[in-house]
Amino acid sequence: QVRLVESGGGLVQAGGSLRLSCAASGRTFSRDVMGWFRQAPGKEREFVASITWSRGMTSHADSVKGRFTISRDNAKSTVYLQMNSLKPEDTAVYYCVAKISSLNLYTDPRKYDYWGQGTQVTVSS
């Protein structure tokens, strides 16, 4: 059973930085895709970024391009989301996701097989 555990959320002032981590376990991750989604109160879940485990190909939402960077450490089975120049509109619960046996960088949350429990990110103005 795949397990995803997020950490690194918290409260930060606008313009600040946070790094989220997602520790993955339960299988040998190779031909899989990992990603991050977020959900703000009263809004739908929104794609943030995704990465292929094997080659490290990435995709970022337009709203975070140039500010957020997704990466992975194969040895640690961990995916990261470095978030810089944070804005109040980045406030949300951030979820780590996994799509098994795929190399497609999906932006549709329904395509992902596993979800973490989420970590809260709050950006104050």
Q: Is 100 helix (H, G, I), strand (E, B) or coil?
A: coil
Q: Is 76 helix (H, G, I), strand (E, B) or coil?
A: helix
Residue 29 confidence (pLDDT): 79
> Mean pLDDT for each 10-residue chunk of the chain (125 residues)?
95 98 90 95 96 94 98 94 98 97 93 97 97
Q: Do you know the residue count of the chain?
A: 125
Residue 15 confidence (pLDDT): 98
- Do residues 35 and 50 make contact, with C-beta atoms less than 8 angstroms apart? yes
Residue 62 confidence (pLDDT): 98
Question: How wide is the angle at C-alpha 4 spanned by C-alphas 40 and 35, nearest 5°?
Answer: 60
